[in-house]
Amino acid sequence: MLDANKKDRKKKNIPLIVEVAGLAGAGKTTLVRLMSQRMGRIFVGPELELRRINQIPIFVAQVTSLLPFLLQSCLTSRWFTWDELKAMAYLNGWTRILAQQATSQNMILLLDHGPIFKMATLNAFGPERLKKKGAEKWWNKMFEQWAHTLDMIIWLDAPNTILRDRINNRVQKHIVKGKPQQETEEFLTLYRKSFEEILAAMKSKSGPTFYQIDRASNSIENVVDEILYVLARNN
């Protein structure tokens, strides 16, 4: 376990906002589901979904505000995919949506596939233009914005061999499910490195508390018990 500095939460009606982050197979979604079932004041934070008509204007507004950055000349870089544009729209403007979810100071909002996941994915697999010097201002803005918004990051990890087995044996689809061992190893190693870079940047902002759990030596039930204790202590 490693804790960073805790955020000052003096404002009224601000819930505890927690992201559960980790590589595929670490058990993020299962953990979020079990925790929300165990504690009545835990709610799963909303995701930006374009199939919801009321969220389309939010997406359009955020992408429009990002256009100067998105259109920066970079001849060696491909354009953004729809998923990448959606992730950037979320990162750019979703803090306000989360704030609107607050109905009680005792409320806990859990994020699955939240800002840490989205930044790590863009960092690892996004277009080359996101790695250029011209993107630094946007990245720094996102780090500052989400360091101020998130109260806690729960990082789940396990050795690649365990993650690979879980990916191959689960029902859900995944880009490396059934792929050769070397390809899966390279994917997981690259992704973990990206997560570590994003987490290091967030820690440098002295914002969220950071809590790390080794899923190789802990059952999902023990992890749920441990995290619920931590959340109750911090809320």
- In contact, 112 and 60? CB cutoff 8 Å: no
Question: Is 201 a member of any domain?
Answer: yes
Question: Is 1 a member of any domain?
Answer: no
The span from the CA of 202 to the CA of 196, in Å, is 10
Q: How many alpha carbons lie under 13 Å from residue 40 in its C-beta half-sphere? A: 0
Cβ neighbours of residue 207 closer than 8 Å, sequence gap 6 or more:
4, 5, 7, 146, 147, 148, 150
pTM of the model: 0.86
What is the CB neighbour count within 10 angstroms for residue 193? 13
Question: Is 126 a member of any domain?
Answer: yes
Question: Is 158 a member of any domain?
Answer: yes
- Residue 91: domain span: 16-234
pLDDT tens per residue across span 76-86: 678 899 999 99
Question: Is 11 a member of any domain?
Answer: no
- In contact, 163 and 24? CB cutoff 8 Å: yes
Counted domains in the chain: 1
Question: Is 7 a member of any domain?
Answer: no
Question: Is 207 a member of any domain?
Answer: yes
Question: Is 109 a member of any domain?
Answer: yes
Place of tokens 């859990």: 110
pLDDT tens per residue across span 30-76: 888 888 888 878 888 878 777 788 778 888 888 898 988 888 756 66
- Per 3-state DSSP, the chain is made up of helix, strand and coil in percentages (nearest 5) of 55, 10, 35
Enclosing H/E stretch for 23: none
Q: Provide the CATH number for the domain around residue 73.
A: 3.40.50.300
pLDDT tens per residue across span 122-171: 999 999 889 888 899 999 999 999 999 999 999 999 899 999 988 998 88
For 126-179, give the DSSP string. S-GGGGSGGGHHHHHHHHHHHHHH-SEEEEEE--HHHHHHHHHHSSS--TTTT-
